Amino acid sequence: MSFLYWNISVVLSFCCVCMTAGEEAGELPAPVDANILWESPFCPTINWTKPNISEKCVVNYTIEEKRPGQRTDQQLSRRTRNTNYTLPCMSQEEDVTFTITTDPVDCPGHRSKSKPVSLQVQSSAEVKDFRLVYYTHQTVNWTWHPLDNVTNLQSYYWSTDRPQGEVERCPQGIFRGLQLIGCHVNSNKLNSTMYVYILVNGTRGNDIINSTFKRVLKDCFKPPPPEVSFRLEGANQLELSFTKPDFPAIKDTCFDYELDYTECGKQKGRVKVGSSRYMVQYSSRCGYSVGVQSVVKAWCGSGGSEPSQRQEYGPARELSVVLVVVCVCVLLWICALLFFFYKYKERLLPKIPEPHLDSFKGLMERLYVPTPERVEISLEVCPSNTDVDNTQQIS
């Protein structure tokens, strides 16, 4: 009997060991009660609870960030031993999915990582066509087109030179009628490497809606257009030079220049040059028309100016100048002639006195002699009754 009990105890012990070994060799449990808490409109923190595992089991947590269209090797991955993680500040311009897994560090049985727990931040497109422009070293504008069903729009911003969470209201709004469509910020604290986070909120019915955007200023350059000047070198070389845009945040070497010029009225295409000078073959019989646009090189940022006003050089320009001078001279001569005529019109065109009525009548009588009228009358003579009676008595 004792032998039987011993065999049963051995079998039970073996089963417990196998069950424990199987449990330890399995998959770790996933984090519990994961959620996203927004410390500010732009900066989220992920929190979760440690799963039900042994205190002896040391684990890490891996947080992966997935965005639409990203390849696997482009996805960001972070690791922590805590049960919370503060993510870098972000915008909500597109959907973002975060996954959290429990990874073994020192666990008996070398367990594998857990299944992922997913959290999603959905995009909030409450306005459209958002655009931020860095105009000068201390001027930034951002604009948008509001949707028809969104009202009471307001705008706030936060930049990385300020403490996190210190959001400031737009100091100067840009309006279309009574509707807010943008913001203007002028500050000497702006620099090209700064990130700017923008919040646009409003109401849709009884609901408050928010849209957030993130931009780095060096990707939003909009310098003023360059100015073009000409200089003739020798008999057949024309130098085109362009002024560097007045933008201290951008080095001279950060600009390319795109030329659009015509020669003798024929389009020569667009030429991209890396300096502020360009030489072309010059013909004295041709006129030249040039427009230039400055473009920021990729390693310095992105953006560019509007095309400059077209400048002309050569016979066509000289002819146009002559025509303008001639037109001005003719106009001045006509004005002087009209003034002279108006001032001396009484001498040039004296007034003829009107004739007196009596004199006019007498003159007309002297000049006009009426012709006698000839009247023809037909007469018929008839004898009277007295004569007839007398004749009868005599006979």
Give pLDDT tens digits for 323-339: 667 778 888 888 877 77
Mean pLDDT, all residues of the chain: 80
pLDDT attached to residue 13: 44
Question: Do the first three CATH levels of 28-121 and 127-219 match, i.e. the same topology?
Answer: yes
pLDDT attached to residue 329: 81
- Report the CATH superfamily, name and number, of domain 228-317: Immunoglobulins (2.60.40.10)
Query: Architecture of domain 28-121 in CATH?
Result: Sandwich (2.60)
- Residues β-bridged to residue 32: 49
For 224-269, the pLDDT digits (tens) are: 899 999 988 887 888 888 888 878 878 888 889 998 888 888 887 7
For 293-312, the pLDDT digits (tens) are: 999 999 999 999 999 988 88
- Rank 3-7, 101-105, 233-237 by mean pLDDT and report only the highest: 101-105
**CB contact at 8 A, 183 and 169:** no
d(CA 135, CA 115): 49
Does residue 347 sit in helix, strand or coil? helix
**CB contact at 8 A, 296 and 221:** yes
Amino acid of residue 254: C
Amino acid of residue 139: T
Task: Kindly report which listed range (31-45, 79-93, 362-376) carries the lowest average pLDDT score.
Answer: 362-376
Distances (CA, A) of 326 to 287, 329, 337: 20, 5, 16
Output 148 or 372, whichever has higher pLDDT.
Answer: 148
pLDDT attached to residue 330: 83
pLDDT interval class at 384 (50, 70, 90) = low
pLDDT attached to residue 383: 60
Does residue 385 sit in helix, strand or coil? helix
Looking at the predicted structure, is the pLDDT value of residue 346 above 70? Answer: no
Looking at the predicted structure, is the pLDDT value of residue 46 above 90? Answer: yes
For residue 375, what are the contacts with CB-CB under 8 A and spacing of at least 6? none
For residue 235, what are the contacts with CB-CB under 8 A and spacing of at least 6? 282
What's the mean pLDDT in 373-387? 57
d(CA 173, CA 182): 6
**CB contact at 8 A, 172 and 183:** yes
CATH number for the region 127-219 comes to 2.60.40.10
pLDDT interval class at 212 (50, 70, 90) = very high
Q: Which tokens sit at 101?
A: 């897994």
Ordered by start, the domain boundaries in the chain are 28-121, 127-219, 228-317
Looking at the predicted structure, is the pLDDT value of residue 288 above 60? Answer: yes
pLDDT attached to residue 14: 40
Q: Which tokens sit at 97?
A: 């999915």
